[in-house]
Amino acid sequence: MTLGAIGFTAPWLLLALAALPLLWLLLRAVPPAPVRRRFPGVALLLGLRDDDSVTDRTPWWLLLLRMLALAALITGLAGPVLNPERDEAAQTGPMLIVLDGSWASARDWPAKEALIGTLLDDAARAARPVAFLRLTAPEPPVFRTADAWRGQLAETAGPAPWEPTPRMMADAAGMLGDETFETRWLSDGLAREGRAALLAALRAHGSVTVHESPAPILALRPARVTDGALELTALRARPGGAREITVEAHGRDPSGTPRVLATLPLAFAQGETGAAGALLLLPAELRARLSRFEIAGQRHAGAVSLTDDGLKRREVALIAGREDREGLELLSPLHYLKRALEPTADLLDGALADILPANPDVIVLADVARLSGAEQAGLLDWAEAGGLLVRFAGPRLAASDVSRSEEAPLMPVRLRAGGRSVGGTMSWGEPKTLAPFPEKSPFSGLAVPDDVTVSAQVIAQPDPTLAERVIAQLSDGTPLVTRKRIGAGQVVLFHVTANAEWSSLPLSGLFVQMLERLAVSSAVAPPDPGEVEGTTWQPVQVLDASGKLTDAGTLPGVDGAALIKGPVGPGLPPGLYEGPDRWLALNVVTKDTEFAPVAWPAGTAVTGLAKPAATPLGGWLMAAALVLLCADIAAALALSGRLWPARAAALLLAALLAVPQPGAAQGRDKALEAALDVVLAHVLTGNARVDETAQAGLRGLGETLAFRTSVEPAPPAGVDLETDELAVYPLLYWPVTPNQPIPSAEAYVKLNAYLRTGGLILFDTRDADIAGYGAASPNGQKLQRLARPLDIPPLEPVPPDHVLTRTFYLLRGFPRPLRRPSDLGRGRAGGCRAGRGDAVSQPQRQRHPGADRRQRLGGGLGHRRGRQPALPGGPRLCRRASARDRLPLRRQPGDARADRQLQIRSGACAGAA
């Protein structure tokens, strides 16, 4: 029911307003309830009559006040709501929930799910049938009862890692049928072709309300390699204020564990929609391991950019047969190779035996004839595992009898003795030029310049396999480059030298192109659509809408051309695809993607994802009723002459309390509050449960402290490392979760300053119950990453005479992990004694399944029951002494020197469950 601009959720209650006149009479007639008193003097009272003239004459304004209060109460209870047209209960008939269902919806999916839940609740209450239409996978809407949809929201309405194409939208518009329904459109906020048409189609069936989150969508374009650096560009749909985001580069570390290898802050300038930045100085090793880039905190597929072979710089090992000709650079067999490869590949230098374990992508042997047995075996293994061995001929190879009578394993062909020399002063004929490359050759299509001549070469023995192994030949048909596959790898022999002695090939641009084609240098360019036409690419890992990589499982392969052309869609999920000889990443956001916020036509009702913004007025009316009733009390007291100063003050106080505190009062300066008292702090991890646990644990710790010591801490505070002042907290408790964001560089500056000025950080990996000591668990690894930028000196085992053993509570033994070297942060054990320098900081680490159990220390710490304590103060204190309680104690001023010693705390309560 609506009344002007106000609707009522419980309009029948308004009937109670009719009772107000009745109330008028009652209020006038009924005196207050009597007090019963025992009083012997009643005998003297008998027969005394009340003065009628003063009993019930309530002034009209007081009655009006009461009536107003009651009217406000009744109206408030009737649930008045501003904006009646958005009132759920007012709508009837079927409801269609349209979802974009794109990757951009994934970030707000929890909120959307909640909204859908609310919509379903309302629909269920009003017995309205509901249907879903997901634009990324349009199906004709089926209207069912609201309850029937519950439990399968994720399947019917969950986001997909692609976005609806205009064709899908048109299909969806065609599926609407001719029913009349109300539409709720949960949009992702990105402009898209076909939206307007669909909106018009939906409007033809009934009213349309659009829900979309005002938070801007961020996306990440694929990384590009520019001048050796990785360039990343982030986009946002709506130009807004300046904003900083962090891009994380994920990959596997040398031990194969996925982790964040690097972070890159990107800044959106005011009013800009793009932010670009480059990851410089990323070692090639690291770069080769990158698997994806991700905007931190954005949980959708558009914020994830998978990388493929395109980013990797190949590692090329160059090994020459003669290394002893110093100074003759132009004659060095490796000079031209180095010049050709340096811009695009990483060159390794060294002895073959040293290089092989580094597992380079390519090994170039320039005029190396003989290999030792071990070297040859190692090379063979390496090549069979996929290595590319490129050999160049030269005087040594020509002079040796390698692969003479029978083919050497590491030579593609047999060689004739001596080779040949053409066009020289002592020989007949002209230097030979190159023939066009045969079609099957990897070089096919490269233009052959005329000025490339060959004056000397080694000659291949004609063998049955020779023809298929030749991939380049001279104009007279002599093989110039031959190739043989060894397992997954191959060996390629250039029948000329790598310098300009035998041919002018190394001087030409063709040389570089040939190396590129051989994938000696990085295989950068994405393949042409024509090149991959007809090939099948198998998905290895696919990206879901929320940006998580999952194994592709048994997904069918896709056609190469479709993979290159895109766009991603139902048959072509984004992910990592494996092709004939390379991997290709298919991302949601390509390098050409541009965003724009959707512009809904005027008159469209657009709201946020919160429950449709009906402004309830009930609370205000109730408050008004309360205030009026308070005024009534005061007035009634004043009338009867009983408004004493004390009562008036109490009333005033109550009225003041009833007035809502302004927001500013609540947001008192956090640092100021912390400075006024001892406040234990915990680092906010972003995981609500962990934060809550930490809060509860610190509160418990505070209670224990207040109970046992003279320290009485204020309630603990959660600290945002980026924004909060740290210096005011004596203790920072830092629970480690695997997916908490790594603080920014500025935050680390603050943290280091905090540590240097005597701060205490207590890391808690919370995994003592499942992990040992070290970096074996995800939390341990995360701790190492978190602690790496911290200025922590090497650690040492706690010595027996450490201050921990000599504080107020005497300890004879430590829990087991404290007795051995630790590897916090640096992975180094032992080292110099921490705590000798003045600027030594105090990160403490504990491994504990839950901070809230900190009070339940077992007997393993401190004195066991029954053993005589060494402290004369009394066994009770000793027995209950908790080393954990001591941490903040030690943080209090006093024993400053001892404060500065470094602790590691671990596993103290592993079993306390």
Amino acid code (one letter) for 403: S
Compute the distance between CA of residue 19 and CA of residue 765 in angstroms, rounded to an integer: 65
Q: For residues 51 and 450, which CB has a smaller minimum distance to other proteins in the complex? A: 51
Minimum distance, C-beta of residue 56 to other proteins, in the bound complex (Å)? 8
Q: For residues 49 and 440, which CB has a smaller minimum distance to other proteins in the complex? A: 49
Q: For residues 55 and 710, which CB has a smaller minimum distance to other proteins in the complex? A: 55
Cα of 806 vs its chain's centroid, Å: 44
Among 750, 696, 701, which residue's Cα sits nearest to residue 727? 750
Q: For residues 33 and 426, which CB has a smaller minimum distance to other proteins in the complex? A: 33
Minimum distance, C-beta of residue 34 to other proteins, in the bound complex (Å)? 4
Whether a cis peptide bond, with omega within 30° of 0, leads into 567 is yes
Q: For residues 46 and 896, which CB has a smaller minimum distance to other proteins in the complex? A: 46
Work out whether strand 229-236 and strand 258-268 pair parallel, antiparallel, or are unpaired.
unpaired
If binding is defined by CB under 8 A, does position 30 make contact with other proteins?
A: no
Helix 618-639 and helix 645-658, axial crossing angle in degrees, nearest 10: 170
Instruction: Give CA separation, 41 vs 10, 46, 734, in Å.
Output: 54, 9, 73
Minimum distance, C-beta of residue 70 to other proteins, in the bound complex (Å)? 22
C-alpha torsion angle, residues 656, 658, 662, 663 (rounded to 10): 140
If binding is defined by CB under 8 A, does position 32 make contact with other proteins?
A: yes
Minimum distance, C-beta of residue 660 to other proteins, in the bound complex (Å)? 35
- Residue selected from 48, 127, 664, 913 as contacting other proteins according to rule CB under 8 A: 48
Minimum distance, C-beta of residue 646 to other proteins, in the bound complex (Å)? 16
Compute the distance between CA of residue 883 and CA of residue 701 in angstroms, rounded to an integer: 12
- Region binding other proteins by CB under 8 A among candidate stretches 44-52, 260-268, 344-352, 855-863: 44-52
Compute the distance between CA of residue 456 and CA of residue 472 in angstroms, rounded to an integer: 15
Q: Which residues pair with 472 in a beta bridge?
A: 481
Compute the distance between CA of residue 734 and CA of residue 759 in angstroms, rounded to an integer: 13
DSSP string, 160-177: -SS---HHHHHHHHHT-T
Q: For residues 35 and 665, which CB has a smaller minimum distance to other proteins in the complex? A: 35
- Residue selected from 22, 25, 31, 689 as contacting other proteins according to rule CB under 8 A: 31
Cα of 525 vs its chain's centroid, Å: 29
- Residue selected from 51, 324, 592, 838 as contacting other proteins according to rule CB under 8 A: 51
Q: What is the largest CA-CA distance in the chain?
A: 157
Minimum distance, C-beta of residue 45 to other proteins, in the bound complex (Å)? 4
Residue 105: both structure tokens together: 């919806």
Contacts of 709 (CB under 8 A, 6+ apart): 885, 889
- Residue selected from 18, 37, 554, 656 as contacting other proteins according to rule CB under 8 A: 37
Minimum distance, C-beta of residue 52 to other proteins, in the bound complex (Å)? 9
Minimum distance, C-beta of residue 899 to other proteins, in the bound complex (Å)? 57
- Residue selected from 12, 18, 29, 55 as contacting other proteins according to rule CB under 8 A: 55
If binding is defined by CB under 8 A, does position 36 make contact with other proteins?
A: yes
- For residues 640-659, which are near other proteins according to CB under 8 A? 642
If binding is defined by CB under 8 A, does position 34 make contact with other proteins?
A: yes
- Region binding other proteins by CB under 8 A among candidate stretches 30-38, 355-363, 382-390, 693-701: 30-38
Work out whether strand 842-846 and strand 760-764 pair parallel, antiparallel, or are unpaired.
parallel
- Region binding other proteins by CB under 8 A among candidate stretches 36-44, 433-441, 501-509, 537-545: 36-44
- Region binding other proteins by CB under 8 A among candidate stretches 51-59, 572-580, 740-748, 830-838: 51-59
Phi, psi (deg, nearest 5) at residue 457: -165, 165
DSSP string, 606-647: EE-SSS---EE-HHHHHHHHHHHHHHHHHHHHHHTT---HHH
Compute the distance between CA of residue 668 and CA of residue 661 in angstroms, rounded to an integer: 12
- Residue selected from 4, 41, 327, 667 as contacting other proteins according to rule CB under 8 A: 41
- Residue selected from 22, 54, 328, 426 as contacting other proteins according to rule CB under 8 A: 54
Among 771, 753, 687, 680, which residue's Cα sits nearest to residue 719? 680
- Residue selected from 39, 60, 61, 428 as contacting other proteins according to rule CB under 8 A: 39
- Residue selected from 4, 29, 38, 689 as contacting other proteins according to rule CB under 8 A: 38
If binding is defined by CB under 8 A, does position 872 make contact with other proteins?
A: no
How big is the site for other proteins, counted in residues (CB under 8 A)? 22
If binding is defined by CB under 8 A, does position 29 make contact with other proteins?
A: no
Contact track, other proteins, 622-641, x by CB under 8 A: --------------------
Compute the distance between CA of residue 600 and CA of residue 607 in angstroms, rounded to an integer: 12
Compute the distance between CA of residue 448 and CA of residue 212 in angstroms, rounded to an integer: 59
Minimum distance, C-beta of residue 47 to other proteins, in the bound complex (Å)? 8
Long-range contacts of 646-654, Cβ-Cβ distance < 8 Å, separation of 24 or more: 654/630
Minimum distance, C-beta of residue 654 to other proteins, in the bound complex (Å)? 22
Q: Which residues pair with 872 in a beta bridge?
A: none
- Region binding other proteins by CB under 8 A among candidate stretches 42-50, 95-103, 626-634, 764-772: 42-50
Q: For residues 39 and 61, which CB has a smaller minimum distance to other proteins in the complex? A: 39
Chain residues in the site for other proteins (CB under 8 A) = 31-46, 48, 50-51, 54-55, 642
